[in-house]
Structure 1
């Protein structure tokens, strides 16, 4: 299962179906949704400037995201003539069944969704590597992490491992004690688990 990022207060997970997946699986729409999550409510013009797009394009794709329930009006910000948008507070998950859907259009949308998520994660990691010194020395001594592991597991134990990792992260997500901590920052956690090809012989 692939999950998109969610802010700490976003506990509900929306399972994508074929229709909502087709509504979301577009590079600019996924960038718009990520920008609203990261930076808060904004207008189409503000997002266009941030993403290097035309306001016409951002406005159109924001309306498409709204039609599929991913974004909504932010009325408390709408004091001028321009429309303000905010993300609907929920996480997003895509089940593997959509990758095996009988409809080529749905399978293509699922493939695009996964590729865009992988690209976004790579961009975020690259940005962190480029700016990591700005967080020192407070965020040294393994407060930040860039690790990889290789295990040998069957599919059912891999699913168990993913579930347990998510449960552990959720425990920290539920902690309210850091809300007023001046040293607390929003952090990003990327979780990738997938099978790989290897030349090593399998045990008999």
Structure 2
């Protein structure tokens, strides 16, 4: 039996829309678009899987929505795949810098006692992938990559390696880019990226190898 890696689920969310084609068209358009994704559209979906969804930080909501849509397309869940065989691999361009900036922004803006405690769980490098793995009950490998524009590419490579080495049979691979308050001035210039999140579901698929005569 020959194993190949197949993409069985895809989700792309941005302020331009929900599909990759819409995102690509809007990226080259001259007219301006909203920088942030309207998360109110997905509140019902989030509440259905997480009763404390209203308390989640923005990046958590984006990842959870992307997971829900990608897993639905792939038909993958912990009920039909052993949790030990599900891995999570995420890329995040700025790593912890966004969370630190957000914390100090809130600290200076309001009373320190009112600063959101939900930011503190993200002070470890692998927090994003670990959090999502816990949410979806994935007990396979989970890794977060922070290497600028190549973060998602690194996550995909790691996921493929894990699948080939039988560390997992299903891998959720994603990348997320937030619009951070400190970058608003830069983002107003043309050519800068806006808020987006993407998720792929990679699975090992087997096909019979015919014997040569």
Name the TM tier (shorter chain).
under 0.3
Q: Which has the higher strand share?
A: 2
Tell me the TM-score normalized by structure 2.
0.27
Higher relative contact order, chain-length normalized (CA < 8 Å, sep 6+): 2
Tell me the TM-score normalized by structure 1.
0.28
